[in-house]
A = this chain, B = another copy of it.
Amino acid sequence: MATHGNERGFVRSFFTSPTAVEGDDTAEMLRKASQLRGMQAPDVWVPDNEDATAPNLRDEGVENILDVVSEHGEEFPGEIHPRIVWHRDDPETRRQGFEHMMRIADPDEGAIEHIDGFVVPEVGSIDDWKKADEFITVVEAENGLEEGSLSMSPIVESGEAELALARIDREIGKRSNNLERLFLLVDGEVDYTKDMRATTPTGELPSWPELRHNTSRAASANGLIAVDGPYDDIRDVEGYHERMADNRAKGMLGIWSLTPGQVVEANTGPLPPKEGTYLLEVEGKTVELERTDGGAHAYEGDDVELQALDEGRYRLRVGRDTRELDEDGLADALRDRTQYVVAMDDYVDSMAEFEEAKAAGRGAISMERTATLIIDGVEVEVTRDRMWDEATYQAAQTPITLFQEVYEARPDQRDELRDTYGEDVVDRATEVG
């Protein structure tokens, strides 16, 4: 699903599996993960021979990778990027990482042809990134692989590595390295917090907005993809979605997933919803309106009251603020307090409408959306308009292009997409733009 090189692709989910666990079949979890399909299968699967696997099992983990990937790699619907061991401060760890990569890349084992690249944790300055890059270049040469064919995805979990993010563009393209192999920039907030020596009273991780911004910016500037670190509280689905929404507002497209359940959320979260909803702002909070059977949007709380008075006048109370309004004033007041969460088919319709207008020589058109809001049983027509120009059109393309790339690259998810959005929307969404 990801186009390497200058054009960025999309990675929604980054799912790690231990390469070896205690037990009769140490490859059990690896084998299970390799058979995930559809929304449960990640865009990038990471057989994790670092933190998820006990140090004494890591040599065996490498053998498990060879076994499982040579057997199941061809059918796996996503890309495969094993994580090897590495540490900016420890040459011995780096040597181990080198040897593990060399072994995994052995063409006689039949795994490397299904492996897209390596994930390199605990990198330091850009010079440390170059050391990993150089080892991969040697691995490629030694095993008859094309130079630069294996990608490299560093994990940013130190202040040094964060500084390196602003230097990639100065080093990439030099003849002395192959940093064009860079693919994902992954944040690792647990170790980053430790490296920064940050603490919170409850042990919760800081949210590190600046780190995520800098990672996303580096991805943008270098044609790469930014991926956020693990979200530990697996039960907290709502929190995971809030984090993803915050990430997307930063241009950070992907997120780490620790379970197939999280993979499903990570795969579906970035796609626009099937149905649009209205949000009403009440005293600084945002409340989602309920869609009624008739297609209207109803407010069901106590903080807003609406009463029809005589002669076409209305009394509207929002929190402690009460006003008397006529019909137009009421519609305006509600319009100013609502926002619309855009659905997949809204994107498709608006883009198609704009394309037509552009073909007819118009550079900007007004798009109207009218809906019936219901408060305390009173129905109000609210019309919102928005100017669409080339910039609006191109911004709308971000989610639609994602949809198209997913549809193209992940045939195993097509049925689920058609179930979710319906045949018609999927057909039009794959053709627009």
Interface residues in chain A, defined as those with a beta carbon under 8 Å from any beta carbon in chain B: 8, 51, 54, 125, 158-160, 162-163, 166, 169, 190-191, 193-204, 206, 209-211, 213-214, 216-221, 236, 245, 248-251, 253, 270, 273, 279, 301-302, 320, 336, 339-342, 363, 386, 389-391, 394-396, 398-399
Contacts and interface: CB of A to CB of B under 8 A. Distances in A.
A396 B342 CA distance: 43
Nearest to A390: B51
Contacts of A273: 201
Contact of A206 (B204, B236, B250): B250
A200 B396 CA distance: 10
Contacts of A201: 245, 273, 341-342
Contact of A202 (B209, B221, B341): B341
Given A169-B160, A217-B163, A391-B191, A398 B197 contact: yes
Contacts of A209: 209-210
Nearest 6 pairs of A and B residues by beta carbon: A159-B220, A196-B251, A198-B251, A159-B221, A159-B217, A210-B213
22 contacts: A159-B216, A159-B218, A159-B219, A159-B221, A163-B166, A163-B169, A163-B217, A166-B166, A194-B391, A195-B220, A196-B217, A196-B220, A197-B251, A197-B398, A198-B248, A199-B399, A201-B273, A202-B341, A206-B249, A206-B250, A209-B209, A210-B213
Given A204-B339, A391-B51, A248 B199 contact: yes
B302 A320 contact: yes
A162 B197 contact: no
Most buried by B among A51, A190, A249: A249
A156 B283 CA distance: 34
Given A158-B220, A198-B248, 7 more contacts: A163-B169, A194-B391, A198-B398, A200-B245, A210-B210, A211-B213, A302-B320
A221 B341 contact: no
A59 to B, nearest CB: 16
A337 to B, nearest CB: 12
Among A125, A219, A395, A396, residue most surrounded by chain B Cβ atoms (within 10 Å): A395
A203 B391 contact: no
A89 to B, nearest CB: 10
Nearest to A57: B363
Given A201-B342, A279-B202, A196 B210 contact: no
A158 B169 CA distance: 13
B391 A202 contact: no
B249 A395 contact: no
